Amino acid sequence: WYFYSKQQDETPAWKKVNYQSVYKDIADLLEDEDYDDGSYGPVFVRLAWHASGTYDKKTRTGGSSGGTIRHAPEAEHGANAGLEVARRRLEPLKQKYRNISYGDLYTLAGVVGIQELGGPTIQWRPGRSDLQAEACTPDGRLPDAAQGADHVRDIFYRMGFDDREIAALVGAHALGRCHSNRSGYEGPWNASPTAFTNFFYTELLENTWVTKKWDGPKQFVDKPTGAFMMLPADMAFKTDPRFRTYIELYARDQDTFFNDFSAAFAKLLELGVKFPDDAPTYRFKPLD
């Protein structure tokens, strides 16, 4: 019996988790009529992105691998303000599935958010293993919304993305909203913030965007309603000629956007992760 129990113990933690079941449980956490626009999907997507977008290809540090976004100081970096809301919502699942790593849980929550809000299927693999606070990345690796195309390129090229992939990823701004008590900015990008669509591109191109008159940071609102917003960094995708080519493509061709987004988002979630050789690739079916 000794050898038997020893072998059992050697099963790596990540193999002991039923990820289809985790997917379902995350999906059950999405809806809440008292939260924002009724769904945690958008903030789960932002959590997955910020957990992953710290990757630096030169030093091969950062990324979702260690789940370090849960630790101070990374959790307290300005760019991550408000993400404790998403982590708190997911924590009961970490308790229920104690063998899942935080990196796997947070990235899977991003997949659920995209798929359950009507987006494309995102390929996903398990096998990240948690690291302690020493592995937190330095502040400043995520994009600053106040800046323009050069800065956006610096940040995303550092992760290993090209212009087309960057333009596809920012389409996630069809989802959710800005919160003045998190980033300082305010408002949603379009009228259906809980549906994954190509509306980021269509709104960006079709509206007239004017500077919002307020005490807050510089942002843009649509003329004449003022109901929707754009960040300065979002506007750079319209004014920069190379980005604009892709913005126009995705505005007129939702299928191409879905395909490109799916590939780029799956790549984002895997940056810097050394998966076990036998980690399977999942393509979860949306529940609805």
Catalytic residue among 50, 71, 77, 173: 50
- What's the sign of the alpha-carbon dihedral 71, 73, 75, 76? positive
CA-based angle 75:125:71, to the nearest 5?
A: 15
Least distance from C-beta 236 to ligand ZEM, angstroms?
Answer: 8
Pairing of strands 208-211, 187-188: unpaired
Nearest-angstrom CA–CA distance, 78 and 71? 14
**Shortest CB 46 distance to ligand ZEM, Å:** 4
The single residue listed with the structure tokens 């939260």 is: 35
Tell me whether residue 1 is one of the annotated catalytic residues.
Answer: no
The contact set with ligand ZEM (CB under 6 A) reads: 42-43, 45-46, 49, 82, 143, 145, 152, 169-170, 172-173, 175-179, 182-183, 185, 231, 233, 265
Residue nearest to ligand ZEM (CB): 176
Q: Is 189 a catalytic residue?
A: yes
Tokens 């100081």 appear where?
A: 73
Give dist(CA 22, CA 179) in Å, integer: 28
CA dist 288 and 286 (Å) reads 6
CB of 9 vs ligand ZEM, minimal distance in Å = 38
- Give whichever of 49 and 106 is closer to ligand ZEM, judged by the CB atom: 49
Residue number, 22 or 149, with CB nearest to ligand ZEM: 149
Q: Which is nearer to ligand ZEM, 17 or 170 (CB)?
A: 170
Catalytic option among 49, 124, 189, 209: 189
Shortest Cβ distance from residue 142 to ligand ZEM (Å)?
A: 8
Instruction: State the Cα–Cα distance between residues 51 and 29, nearest whole angstrom.
Output: 19
The residue among 62 and 176 lying less far from ligand ZEM, judged by its C-beta, is 176
The residues, ordered by sequence, that sit 6+ positions from 209 with a Cβ below 8 Å of its Cβ are 220, 221, 222, 223, 230, 235
Between the alpha carbon of residue 116 and those of residues 199, 210, 286, the distances in Å are 17, 33, 6
Q: Tell me whether residue 22 or residue 48 sits nearer to ligand ZEM (CB atom).
A: 48
Instruction: Tell me the closest approach of the beta carbon of residue 212 to ligand ZEM, in angstroms.
Output: 14
Residues with a known catalytic role: 50, 189
